[in-house]
Amino acid sequence: MNFTRVATGVFASLLAIAAPNYLPAQYMRSIQQRSDASDLVCVGHAASPGRTGRVQQIDGSDRDELATQVIIERCLKGRLSANAEVRVLGFDIVALKNISGGYGYSGPPTGFVSEGRNLLFLKPTKDSDQYEVTVPIYATAIHLADPAPDLPSGEGSQTVQAIVVRELEGAFIQFGSRDLSYIDYLMGYLGAQEGIAECLRLSSRVSVPLQRDLAVAMLFEGQSSLEPVVISVLLDASAPLWKRQNAAGALGEHGTRAALVPLQEIASDHGPPDGQESLQSWAAEALHKVKARLVQP
C-alpha cells in the first residue's frame, strides 16, 4: 500500500549535532514484528511531544529529534515498574531547517508518539530513564483509547495477548469511525481464523457503523456469510466514500454471484456525484474479479 502525506513546513533554527548514523529505518507493519525488535513493550500515557532542537542524519537525510515524557501503566515485555516516568525519543521524517514552504512525502506511515495513551515499542539508551522508539522515523507506537479497558478476570487470564487485544478493541471503539487500522492490527496479531472469531465477538458490543466496518474486514479474510452486510455498505450513499471503496475491494476478493448486480449498479453509473468516480473504478475492478472467479472451473 502506498501512503502519501503532504505537510506544510515552517522555518526553524535548529542546532545540528554530530552523532553516529542510525541503521536504515524499516517500517514494521505488525505488532509481533515491532515486539520482536524491541527490548521494552509497554502501555504508557504520553505528554504532548515536542522537538528537542537536535538534528540527526538517518538514511542519508536530516531528521528532527522528538521527545515526550511517558508515565508507564504496565509492561508487556521487559522490566519497568508501573508509574515510572521515562523520556522517549524519536525522529520526524524531516528537519524543519531544510524546509521552505512545504514538502511532499510518499512511503510508509510516519509518526512518533501521540499525546495520551500509547502502546510503545522501545529500546534503551545509555541513560536509564530514557528510551528510543524501536523504529526512528516510521509509525511504531499505537495510539490507544483514553480509558484503560476492562481486562479479563481470573487467574492466568491477563496474558499479554489478552491485554493487547482489549487495548486494540478499545481503540477501535473510540477511533474506528475514522481509523480502521486497529482492525488490521487485530487481524495481524491473532491471525485470520482467530481474528475473525474475535471480531465476531466484538461486533456484538459496538455500534452499527462499526459492525459494518468489521464485516468488511472479515470478508477480506474470507468470512463470506457477511457479504450481504458488505453489499449494504457499498450501496449506502450516506457512508463515507472510502468505506464504500473498502466494501468494493472486499467484494472483489471474496464476493459471490450476489455481488454482481450491486457492483454493476455502481460501476455503470453514468453520472456519479462529484468525487465518486473513484468508487466507480473500484466497483468496476471488483466486478471484473468476481466475474473472472465465477467462470473458473
Average pLDDT value for the chain: 87
Angle between helices 227-235 and 260-267 (to 10 degrees): 20
Q: What is the pLDDT of residue 18?
A: 31
- The rounded Cα 1 to chain-centroid distance in angstroms is 12
- At residue 272, the pLDDT reads 63
pLDDT in tens, 27-46: 899 999 999 999 999 999 99
Cα gap 132→122, rounded to integer Å: 5
Q: Which domains does the chain have, with CATH numbers?
A: 1-144 (2.40.50)
Query: Alpha-carbon distance 44 to 28, whole Å?
Result: 20
136-186: per-residue pLDDT in tens?
889 999 999 999 998 877 666 689 999 999 999 999 999 999 999 999 999
Q: Tell me: the pLDDT tens digits for 209-256?
A: 999 999 999 999 999 999 999 999 999 999 999 999 999 999 999 999
CA–CA distance, 31 with 185 (Å, rounded to integer): 7
Q: Which residue carries 475492478 as its cell?
A: 285
d(CA 51, CA 49): 7
Confidence class of residue 17 from pLDDT cuts 50, 70 and 90?
very low
Of the pLDDT bands very low, low, confident and very high (cuts 50, 70, 90), residue 98 is confident
Cβ neighbors of 184 (< 8 A, separation 6 or more) are: 217
Cα 285 to chain center, whole Å? 25
